[in-house]
Amino acid sequence: MGGAPFIEEAPGTFGGYLPERARSIYSLVGVPFDSTSSYRSGQRWGPRAIREASAFIEFTSLHAGLDVEEVPIYDEGDVGVVHGDARETLRRVSAATRALAGEGRRLIVLGGEHTVTYGVLEGLASALGRTPCLVVLDAHFDLRGDYLGNPYSHACVMRRVLERLHPPRVYYVGVRGFAREELELASSREGVAYSTSLDVERLGEANVAARVKRFLGECGSVYLSVDLDFLDPSQAPGVGNPEPGGLTFREALNLIHAIVDERLVGFDVVELAPPHDPAGLTAVVAAKLVVEVVAAHARALRRARRRGGV
């Protein structure tokens, strides 16, 4: 059991073992919520499937050149969600993440559907005094005004974030499926920028990552939201809204390791829908992404400390 409100004991632990909490700066939280799912549901089983997969992969990162077992991740458990009630669930996610971020812990959030990101950002904004800048890996903008009458649907989560939490900067990578109103908003709104999956293919990961870093500029804190559907469905089929033409896992690793630095205050991996993941591979991909993002951050933090910057 963790110390934050609304957190229930985890159904297992990330990586198969629970380190001493004081030895870790990373707090992992699951949010098994999927009530606004519009197509393929089952994201409530995501945290459990990612934890299970995490016990059977190696905690190494070739890009970061380190064994992530040296970087312990403390699994706090799952937020007690209220199925069917997005507002109350988000309130709980916000309270839990505010408490953890208030302790100075770096957050790792396992979805659940993308809606949960709103609660995490609200909690972080409250703990940090301002909303962090965002990097969003997603096939979609999630910028609709509402979806099927629900303002808290996964399809409009980023619209709520922009309207209410005012992140100074938002950069999307991998977008390729959107409504006209979403594209217009993303193209015209100050502080919002994007690179499509085709941009990644044409420019290469290094150039796209350089654009992201330039755009983030002087941001003091950064949050990374990873909707697994940014990857190509051939590599990550088990998601709520698969969209063909996505990134490969290797492109994703190049991007992540070039973008993530010591300013990362947290990240999420959302939209895994285990009932639609017949070979269980999307869960493995999700677990490995967690390991790689932590590895990228841990390396950046070490370098920054050596420079005396943090």
Size of interface with Mn ion, in residues (CB under 5 A):
5
C-beta closer to Mn ion: residue 52 or 227 = 227
Residue range at the interface with Mn ion (CB under 5 A); choices 30-38, 165-173, 196-204, 222-230: 222-230
Per rule CB under 5 A, is residue 52 in the interface with Mn ion?
A: no
Query: Which stretches within the chain are classed as H helix?
Result: 46-54, 86-102, 116-128, 157-160, 180-188, 197-203, 205-216, 249-259, 281-307
Q: How far is the CB of 266 from Mn ion (least distance, A)?
A: 19
In this structure, how many other beta carbons lie within 10 angstroms of the beta carbon of residue 302? 15
- CB within 8 A of 37, min separation 6: which ones? 43, 113, 154, 240, 273
Q: How far is the CB of 123 from Mn ion (least distance, A)?
A: 21
Residue range at the interface with Mn ion (CB under 5 A); choices 50-58, 59-67, 144-152, 221-229: 221-229
Q: Which of residues 264-303 bind Mn ion (CB under 5 A)?
A: none
**Dist. CA 166–CA 187, nearest whole Å:** 17
C-beta closer to Mn ion: residue 107 or 139 = 139
Q: Which of residues 164-203 bind Mn ion (CB under 5 A)?
A: none
Q: How far is the CB of 239 from Mn ion (least distance, A)?
A: 8
Q: Which of residues 228-257 bind Mn ion (CB under 5 A)?
A: 229
Tokens for 216? 């983030």
C-beta closer to Mn ion: residue 138 or 277 = 138
C-beta closer to Mn ion: residue 60 or 248 = 248
Q: Which residue in the block uniquely carries the two structure tokens 């812990």?
A: 105
| Sole binder of Mn ion in the list 92, 98, 140, 159 (CB under 5 A) | 140
Q: Which residue in the block uniquely carries the two structure tokens 């003091």?
A: 220
**Dist. CA 252–CA 195, nearest whole Å:** 13
C-beta closer to Mn ion: residue 106 or 140 = 140
State how far the alpha carbon of 174 is from the alpha carbons of 198, 200, 292, 296, in Å: 8, 7, 18, 20
C-beta closer to Mn ion: residue 71 or 269 = 269
**Dist. CA 161–CA 242, nearest whole Å:** 23
E strand or H helix that includes residue 75:
strand 73-79
Q: Which of residues 119-138 bind Mn ion (CB under 5 A)?
A: 138
131 near 168, Cβ under 8 Å? yes
Residue ranges binding Mn ion (CB under 5 A)? 138-140, 227, 229
